[in-house]
């Protein structure tokens, strides 16, 4: 599967973030709760530097609660500030605001002691499609920035001022020039951070998804497609799904593209179930032991 990709607009976006980081006080780092590890962008480390950072595990409504809890434990044990949210639910706004508020408080107090009353500025960053703009709209209580279910919707620089004096800077999602690990790249494709149209082989991508689901969530796959999944090769499963769904063309040939797109779409819309592919570093052994080697990351 060939997805080495780094379009020019992402270089531009990273430069914009580097140029603005000097004027922000804190960073909100949005991670897709279905693949938090894969969402860590090495290019962001330089941008964040020593700024206080809040990790926001978003799309929890689509994620596996037990794995999200492992991430929360990991963050808590590592002394990392985090919040788990579903940015599409407006009721979540207060949770996010208070998490930011906690981080901003120390800073505000310091400034006030010096007689400075300025808004606390926060840079919101994350890979494409993880929900940055949705999160900002959730906090603002209105549609202040453009969102969309595909990468690349946010283009320029967008500041949004909240009532509590926090100012948020939305940024275009960025990836990094080279994926060392195919698993990271494919998981970013599954969650829609990498556009399907730059993936050369959508069939190969959907086979990887079937394989990961078969390993980590066999029951969900069985229930969704009413199939027995054990001891079957992913391509065999793929063909069974195609036939069950009637995705065949004239002469009984399987419609590979249609089936591949349907499986990816089912996953992205949460129709297969609540799934999280990545576990935090130390949790790897725990998950393996507790499931008799069924899960891997
Ligand atoms: N189910 C679900 N969808 C979400 C959530 N947050 C964002 N989305 C959807 O994810 C897509 C990308 O969101 P957007 O905010 O544009 O992502 P951005 O590229 O990071 O700014 C949109 O279709 C949103 O509606 C969430 O918590 N749950
Ligand atoms: Mg956006």
| Overall domain count for the chain | 2
Q: Are residues 122 and 224 in the same domain?
A: no
What is the CA(148)–ligand 2 centre distance, in A?
7
Q: Which has more pLDDT, 70 or 14?
A: 70
Q: Look at the block and give the residue holding tokens 């948020």.
A: 168
Average pLDDT score, the chain? 87
**What percent of the chain shows pLDDT beyond 70?**
87
Residues 14 and 159 reside in one and the same domain: yes
**How many angstroms does the Cα of residue 117 sit away from the middle of ligand 2?**
29
Which ligand is closest in space to the CA of residue 96?
A: 1
Contact 271, 263 (CB under 8 A): no
The pLDDT tens digits for 252-285 are 899 999 999 999 999 999 999 999 999 998 765 5
pTM of the model: 0.89
CATH number, domain at 58? 3.40.50.300
pLDDT at 4: 57
For residue 91, the CA-to-ligand 1 centroid distance in Å is: 16
One domain for residues 229 and 279: yes
What is the model's pLDDT at position 280? 94
> Could you tell me the residue range of the domain that residue 258 belongs to?
200-290
Query: At a CB cut-off of 8 Å and minimum separation 6, what does 68 contact?
Result: 33, 57, 60, 84, 276
For residue range 15-25, list pLDDT tens digits in order.
Answer: 888 888 888 99
Q: Report pLDDT digits (tens) over 131-182.
A: 999 999 998 886 666 666 656 565 556 788 887 778 998 888 888 777 778 8
The alpha carbon of 85 and the centre of ligand 2 are apart by a number of angstroms equal to: 17
Contact 129 CB / ligand 1 (< 6 Å):
yes
Ligand minimally distant from the alpha carbon of residue 132? 1
Q: Which CATH number belongs to the domain containing residue 207 in this structure?
A: 1.10.1580.10
Q: Which residues neighbour 120 within 8 Å (Cβ) at sequence distance 6 or greater?
A: 25, 26, 100, 104, 107, 108, 165, 166, 167
Q: Distances from the Cα of 202 to the Cαs of 107, 173, 196, 250, in angstroms?
A: 47, 22, 7, 21
Question: Which residues have beta carbons under 5 A from ligand 2 (an ion)?
Answer: 132-133, 154
CA distance 164 to 141: 12
Exposed/middle/buried for residue 219 (C-beta within 10 Å: 0-12, 13-18, 19+): exposed
């Amino acid at each position: 599967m060939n997805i080495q990709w780094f379009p020019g607009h992402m270089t531009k976006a990273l430069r914009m973030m580097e140029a603005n980081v000097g004027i922000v006080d804190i960073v909100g780092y949005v991670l897709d709760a279905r693949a938090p590890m894969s969402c860590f962008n090495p290019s962001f480390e330089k941008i964040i530097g020593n700024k206080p950072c809040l990790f926001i595990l978003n799309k929890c409504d689509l994620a596996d609660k037990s794995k999200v809890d492992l991430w929360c434990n990991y963050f808590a044990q590592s002394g990392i500030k985090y919040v788990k949210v579903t940015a599409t639910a407006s009721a979540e706004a207060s949770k996010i605001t208070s998490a930011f508020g906690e981080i901003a408080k120390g800073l505000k107090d310091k400034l006030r002691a010096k007689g400075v009353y300025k808004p606390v500025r926060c840079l919101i960053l994350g890979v494409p499609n993880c929900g940055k703009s949705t999160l900002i709209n959730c906090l603002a209580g209105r549609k202040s920035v453009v969102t969309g279910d595909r990468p690349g919707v946010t283009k320029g620089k967008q500041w949004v001022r909240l009532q509590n004096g926090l100012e948020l800077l939305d940024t275009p999602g960025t990836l990094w020039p080279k994926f060392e690990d195919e698993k990271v790249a494919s998981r970013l494709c599954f969650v829609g951070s990498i556009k399907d149209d730059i993936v050369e082989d959508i069939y190969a991508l959907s086979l990887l998804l079937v394989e990961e689901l078969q390993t980590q969530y066999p029951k969900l796959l069985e229930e969704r497609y009413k199939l027995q999944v054990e001891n079957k090769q992913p391509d065999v499963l793929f063909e069974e799904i195609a036939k069950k769904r009637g995705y065949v063309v004239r002469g009984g040939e399987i419609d590979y593209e249609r089936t591949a797109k349907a499986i990816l779409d089912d996953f992205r819309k949460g129709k297969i179930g609540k799934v999280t592919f990545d576990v935090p570093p130390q949790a790897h052994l725990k998950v393996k032991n507790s499931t008799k080697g069924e899960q891997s990351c």
